Amino acid sequence: MLEQWHEVPALRGDHPAAGDRSLTRHAGSAHGGQVAVQSAQRERRIFRDPARAVRRVPNHSLPRLIPANRVAGLLDTLPTARHKFVLALIAVRALRPKQISTLLLADLDRSTGRLQVRSSGDGRSDAVRVVHLDEHTLLLAKNMLAERHERWPMSSNPHLVLSAVSAMHPDASPVDYTMDWVADLTGLNATQLRRDRILDEAVETVDPVHLMRLFGLSPATAMTYVRTAHPDRFINDPRRHNVASCWCTPLFAQAGTGRHI
């Protein structure tokens, strides 16, 4: 930009619009141009910043929805009841793999459809939230427990989800909390599926509190998803919007959306 201005006799006489035009032609270099002009100001070479009206958008990594055709039918591709139950917890309830690996048998109450989840995933008893499971996920849990009893009837491991390694060793570590098999079997890793579920819910609501309660998100994280789903609604302070929350059914139960697992 400065090379193009070498014929200008004095920067202090340049109009702000010239700076805007130059920065527009150099997308991605706005910050560098602002720094250069600010340095010239400090040295009292110019008195007004030609780029003062330019706003640089931070380059944040925003969540994106997975195409519906990639989500559809994922449960049918999995070989065991354990895999299907775990995938439902990730893709429907947006649990982290580490949280799933620390679940205990006592955490699941099938009679009330409640699952106690340790929010931090580190096994602390003082960081527990209750997740309400729908009928389909409860059916998957029932099938998984039946499969568990059939394969390892003598297992005394207290964890809810077992593997062939940990089933007969109560003191062994639970299932691998990285759960790389999710990507191997579905082509989508657990983080992608979890973010997709939250963003899918955010599309249906503009209430970050709803996302915080449903998925146990922090306020900042909930706002990231809502802003991503509704960028046009948050030009002003989103706290001034009075929008009612919207409770939505799980992905595999949403009729007509095409986003079924």
Q: Which class in CATH covers the domain with range 68-240?
A: mainly alpha
Bridge-based pairing of strands 128-132 and 114-118 is: antiparallel
Report the pLDDT value the prediction gives residue 3, as an integer from 0 to 100: 57
**168: pLDDT confidence band, cut at 50, 70 and 90?**
confident
Q: How far is CA 55 from CA 20, 24, 34, 58, in A?
A: 11, 11, 10, 9
CB atoms within 10 A of CB 46: 17
- Two tokens, residue 165: 């390694």
Tens of pLDDT, residue by residue over 33-48, are 666 767 777 776 665 6
Tens of pLDDT, residue by residue over 194-233, are 999 999 999 988 899 999 999 999 999 999 999 999 888 8
CB atoms within 10 A of CB 227: 17
**Among 31, 37, 38, 39, which residue's Cα sits nearest to residue 8?**
37
**Where exactly are the structural domains of the chain?**
1-59, 68-240
**Among 97, 81, 78, which residue's Cα sits nearest to residue 89?**
97
Of the ranges 75-89, 108-122, 128-142, which one carries the lowest mean pLDDT score? 108-122
Report the pLDDT value the prediction gives residue 70, as an integer from 0 to 100: 64
pTM for the structure as a whole = 0.63
Report the pLDDT value the prediction gives residue 208, as an integer from 0 to 100: 92
Report the pLDDT value the prediction gives residue 253, as an integer from 0 to 100: 39
Cα 138–chain centre separation: 24
Which is higher by pLDDT, 180 or 7?
Answer: 180
User: Rounded mean pLDDT of 153-163?
Assistant: 88
Report the pLDDT value the prediction gives residue 252, as an integer from 0 to 100: 43
